[in-house]
Amino acid sequence: MSQNPEELKYAVTHEWVKLEADNVIKVGITDFAQEELGDLVYIELPEVGRQLAIEEQCAVVESVKTASDLFSPVAGEVIAINESLADAPEQVNEDAFNTWLFSLRINNADELDRLLDAEAYEEAIS
């Protein structure tokens, strides 16, 4: 498994978060999660404009082995989705940390503090 990037934050539910400008984050799933799931065949993403609460189920990833719910790591409004995943969900398997699923404009940046850093996430999955 690849090393988890230090600049990202992590949820115990295996989502990663990258802070962009103006309280916008990109959200994806970790390399650990995609390895556990296997080859992804379908991803259902939240609708743009949807308001999400912390830990609200908001997306589904399906693999040849199973389907798994994804949860919003923080509260906010979905402002973009990675539309290329509709035709090519395998992008997540190929490069999990550079394949974002959706972007949120977060309501409260302090909520990011409750997420794990790379070291704590490593401990959580080992």
Domains, in order of start, for the chain: 9-125 (2.40.50.100)
Residue 82, amino acid: N
pLDDT at 3: 85
pLDDT at 123: 94
CA distances from 77 to 12, 17, 39, 51, 52 (A): 21, 14, 29, 4, 6
Q: Give pLDDT tens digits for 103-112.
A: 999 999 999 9
pLDDT of amino acid 1: 42
Kindly give, in sequence order, each residue whose CB lies less than 8 Å from that of residue 10, ignoring residues fewer than 6 positions away.
4, 16, 17, 30, 115, 116, 117, 118, 120, 121, 124
- Are 20 and 104 a contacting pair, CB within 8 Å? no
Q: What is the pLDDT of residues 51-77, one digit of tens each?
A: 999 999 999 999 998 999 999 999 999
Global pTM value: 0.94
